[in-house]
Amino acid sequence: MPRPARVLAEYWTQIVAQGSLFGEPVTLRCRRRPARRACTGTLKIGLDLELDGIEWHCPVCGDNGIIQGWQGTFWDNSELPDSDLPDRL
């Protein structure tokens, strides 16, 4: 897989992994580089029940999207018991 495609796919899997940890704080930074400078935003991630997907949005630069078909994937953390959740700093 070409590097740019792999990097984008890894970003989307991080969105699913954090977005499916319901009730946990989101710490994923925006990947966009407006005017060739790193965006300073932290993503807002939530469920879109109408589209059955994870919706994400950067409040700083406006980058956004919806990821569907994430349920049951390796990155779906929605079924983890609380004791299996990773430690947070």
The span from the CA of 43 to the CA of 66, in Å, is 13
**pLDDT, tens only, 6-25:** 999 999 999 999 999 887 88
CB 7 within 8 A of CB 21: no
Report the C-alpha gap between 11 and 26 in whole angstroms. Answer: 14
pLDDT digits (tens, 9 = 90+) for 40-73: 999 999 988 888 899 999 999 999 999 999 999 9
What pTM did the predictor assign? 0.81
What is the distance between the alpha carbons of residues 66 and 60, in angstroms, rounded to a whole number?
A: 18
Q: Which of the four pLDDT bands, split at 50, 70 and 90, describes residue 89?
A: very low
